Homo-oligomer: A and B are copies of this chain.
Amino acid sequence: MRDVAIGGIGQTPVGEHWDISLRHLALRAIQAAMADAGVTRADALYVGNMLAGQLAGQENLGALIADFAGLRGIEAYKVEAACGSGAAALRAGYLAVAGGMADVVLVVGVEKMTDAGSADATSALAMAADADYEASQGLSFVAINALLMRRYMHEYGYSRDDFAPFAINAHRNALHNPHAMFHFAVSPERYAAAAMISDPVNLLDSSPICDGAAAVVLMPVERAREVAKAPVRIAASAVGTDTVAVHDRRDPLVLDGAVLSAQRAYRQAGVGPQEIDLFELHDAFSIIAALSLEAAGFAPRGQGVRLALEGEIGIEGRIPISTMGGLKARGHPVGATGMYQIVELVQQLRGEAGANQVPGARRGMAQNIGGSGAIAITHILEAV
């Protein structure tokens, strides 16, 4: 197995891109990543995407995007793991380079959700849940997260307002990220007054429906040292899964898939949570941010919210999260999200995160989750 590096990164702003198509979005991220890596060709392209079939009537995105990016002929296909599709595609690309099957691999996560109505998007997102046992009972994806949040509050004695720090932190960090969807601060008062979506999940607990694409170029570390200006090494790449339906879980408040995924990643990298400088987690909803912090070993059970309340998730805190805005405020174009997390982590490890720079960041972790914990893909990156 070869050491794999990220040699280049690219991203589009997250937002409502009604003027360009899905393939254009992907192209922009790919072109930026290739230019950043100093490459003009690739051996393979893996596309992370969840909803193009349902919302755009388009599958076969691998060949479609490879051709549109001027790479006609190369190996290319789509990888899907619900909202974890982006990082799952990175995992596929990592396997190809680490195993020696390819020397230059593109990975792009792309999603276009706003061309459809929000009812269509909500219905499409329910495909991440269990169609037979959850969605068919009328449970939307936000409703599942509302049940989890209510249970967490009940079991550990938190109030709804205790979750405010997640939104406040994410929106504060997004202010200085030009690629973020939202550029407004959130105060505790604003959080408390936010419209209720699915009690107790309010508007500011929820990531937005949006469009975006983010890409990386992978190559062996040796080659990246030669051609890339600031390569970042993939120290670990790991996947863990759990049941899709929450009621089948061992314990609904423990994301076993995320635990497995993080443990496998720590083992591969030879480090533990205390050696991680920042954590780009999957804050699709505030409750998932809390559960992720616990699953990855940054807080004991029931203490994820406590960690946030104590101010430890900020840029200067013990474990900075959502440092460029996270899913909450950078935005959550679902199949692209995992790749945005990676691109932002690379920005941090290169020292290019501007006002959001985590001081002295040398090693970071990203965890992308598909479904309400059904799959978690964890990557640990290190400055070379």
Contacts and interface: CB of A to CB of B under 8 A. Distances in A.
A375 B58 CA distance: 15
A127 B370 CA distance: 23
B81 A80 contact: no
A278 B131 CA distance: 40
Contacts of A81: 60, 62-63, 77-78
Contacts of A243: 63, 67, 72
A240 interface: yes
Interface in A202-244: 238-244
A95 interface: yes
A159 to B, nearest CB: 32
A87 to B, nearest CB: 10
Contact of A127 (B59, B82, B136): B59
Nearest to A371: B60
Contacts of A100: 1, 99
Given A57-B135, A81-B78, A132-B21, A63 B101 contact: no
B240 A73 contact: yes
A260 interface: yes
Contact of A241 (B67, B127, B244): B67
Nearest to A47: B80
A199 B12 CA distance: 44
A248 B63 CA distance: 13
Interface in A60-94: 60-64, 66-67, 72-82, 84-85, 88, 91-92
B241 A76 contact: yes
A256 interface: yes
Nearest to A62: B81
The 3 closest A-B pairs by CB, nearest first: A99-B99, A75-B239, A58-B131
Interface of A: 1, 21, 23, 44, 50, 53-54, 56-64, 66-67, 72-82, 84-85, 88, 91-92, 95-96, 98-101, 123-124, 126-132, 135-136, 238-244, 248, 256-257, 260, 370-371, 374-375
